[in-house]
Chains A and B, each alone.
Chain A
Amino acid sequence: MPEPQPFAEALSSSPQLFARLLPTVYFDKYLSLDPPIRPSLRSPTQFRPCSINTSALPNTFGSSVVRMGECIAVCGITGYIIDSTEAGPSALYTNVDIVGRTGPPQSELMSMSEWMYETALATKLFDPVQLRIEDTAQTVVLQAQIQLLSQMYSGDVAWAALLAALAVTRIPKAIPADDEETLTAYFGTEPVVRFSKTETTKLELNYEKLPWCVNFGVMDDTGLVLADLEGRVEEVSVEGRITIVTSAGNSSIQNLSIFAGKSIISKEHIRQCISFAKHRAAELDSILNSQIYQSNGNGL
């Protein structure tokens, strides 16, 4: 019969195993230090480092790659021309997907897609009038395809990718079609047009300071507010969530989602999070603006 393992040895397994088996205890061990710190070595109010690249994808009207901590999202904006009578309430359709995954989308992603569509519609990111094609009753409709490249993902990274891509989007001018492929494909009554490959106009957004999405967690036992949750340990240990979409500067907020779980979320928590969110939005604005200033290409 094999020798039983000494008790002390069996308990001193790797930290990763500890994190997988008892994530809440693992998390509490870090937070009980003085000053409290998270397993990612961020302080409770510290946000993840963020990097943004724009206009990297060819054959798009606009594109971006956003990285926040371990989450990476790529957004490509394309468009198509439809008769105005067929246009729905929105001029922008968003789809979120995970790269490399086959099969039907996970319900969490579908929920995120719907959230992005509704938020984009309600925040009125741009005036759809600028997408109308002159002298015809046709309009351009934009489609944003957001790909999540990492195992970990969150709505705020996907939203940031969308905003950054829209900030550099240029709409190609519509010119009369002369190629047989387009002429034979269209069955409507409007003049047949196609996108120019050379002339573009910048998409004008309604916001000078963009409405970024920022997420927070609220611990249920201590009421501690944690900025920018990431990772399985944090997601399992922190049930209370506050997600805010807001731009820096003015007093208006575009989206506020609160799920209390078992936590007690007070007005003070909400005030604190809104204030942090506005600071973060200003920080993200400057990261994006310095990127746009440095880069010189456009999608086409």
Chain B
Amino acid sequence: MTVLDITRPSPASAITSFLYRVDGSASWKVGTAHIIASVSGPIEVNKRDELPDVATLEIVVRPDVGVTSTREQFLQDRIRRVVAPVIALELHPRTLIQIVVQIVQSGDNKILNTISLSASINATYMALLDAGVPLRSTVSATSIIYYTTATSDASKTNVLVDPTRAQLEQIEKDITSVHTIAYELKGGKIERLLLSESVGSFTEDQVFECYDTAANICEETNRTMREAITKGVQQKSRWREA
């Protein structure tokens, strides 16, 4: 018998337009994760990388500690799969849209990638908005972790959403499954699932339950993004009041 106990997620915060030499930038903080993303584009592209009908999308992920490894390639691939369908690439053929994601603090423990991935997706999206790249819809992502705790009469299944690194390390041995989910939203409401990476040992029902939980979290994340963008635009427009 399992009893669900969902711990409320730590609030996320974002700032935009703080890097001067790129077209758009965003910083996304959630729990103990801190990711900075920058976007330049559409800009000049190498003849070799040029595509005749769509913009070329280049995504680079830099780790917080150490040298770039296969882990960053994996993150880059997943970010691309979420973001590429959302950007209107066909509006800028034969150009380059360059995205650089710098992980300042990954928020993951040694073996997981989930917090880095969901926070990077959110940071990338905010940076694309800040750069004014044409987009079809809104994106937001979240991480959900299932773990068990032994109680006297049953084993309880608990759920953490966007946990901090300390929380992850505490439950490390009891983690049963890890889910990274990204949704597409229109008008602040969930439109469709964009990405779902679930690893561990889980059932079909748990995954669907995850999708529903993630849908609520992503709508909340979307509201956080809107507030940050509103503040950013107000900041940029303050010359009008002078």
A residues in contact (CB < 8 Å) with B: 89-90, 107-108, 110-111, 113-115, 117-119, 121-123, 239, 251-262, 264-265, 267, 270-271, 274
Q: A256-B207, A257-B196 are in contact. List 7 more A-B contacts (CB 8 A).
A: A111-B73, A111-B74, A118-B199, A253-B202, A261-B81, A265-B193, A270-B204
The answer to whether A122 and B77 touch across the interface, beta carbons within 8 angstroms, is no
Contact size class for B? 20 to 34
Offer 15 A-B interface pairs, CB within 8 angstroms, sorted by A.
A90-B111, A111-B77, A114-B74, A118-B113, A121-B111, A122-B178, A251-B204, A252-B202, A253-B201, A253-B202, A256-B198, A256-B207, A258-B196, A260-B194, A262-B85
Interface code B197-219, partner A: CB below 8 Å = 1, 0 otherwise? Answer: 11111111001100100000000
In the assembled complex, the CB of A109 is this many whole angstroms from the nearest CB of chain B, namely: 9
| B85 adjacent to A261 (CB under 8 Å) | yes
- In the assembled complex, the Cα of A257 lies from the Cα of B198 at a distance in Å of 6
- Complex interface bits, B48-67 against A, C-beta within 8 A gives 1, otherwise 0: 00000000000000000000
Name B's A-contacting residues (CB within 8 A): 69-71, 73-74, 76-77, 81-82, 85, 110-111, 113, 178, 184, 192-204, 207-208, 211
B178 to chain A, nearest CB (A): 7
A-B pairs, top 5 by smallest CB distance, nearest first, are A114-B74, A110-B73, A114-B70, A258-B196, A111-B77
**Chain B residue at smallest Cβ distance from A94:** B70
B202 contact set on A, CB distance < 8 A: 252-253, 256
Kindly list chain A residues whose C-beta atoms are within 8 Å of the C-beta of B71. 114
Give A258 to B195 CA distance when docked, in angstroms.
5
Given the known inter-chain contacts A122-B199, A260-B195, please indicate yes or no for A253 contacting B207, CB distance below 8 A. yes
Q: Is the CB of B197 within 8 A of A257?
A: yes
Q: Given A118-B113, A122-B178, A251-B203, are A264 and B192 also a contact pair (CB < 8 Å)?
A: yes
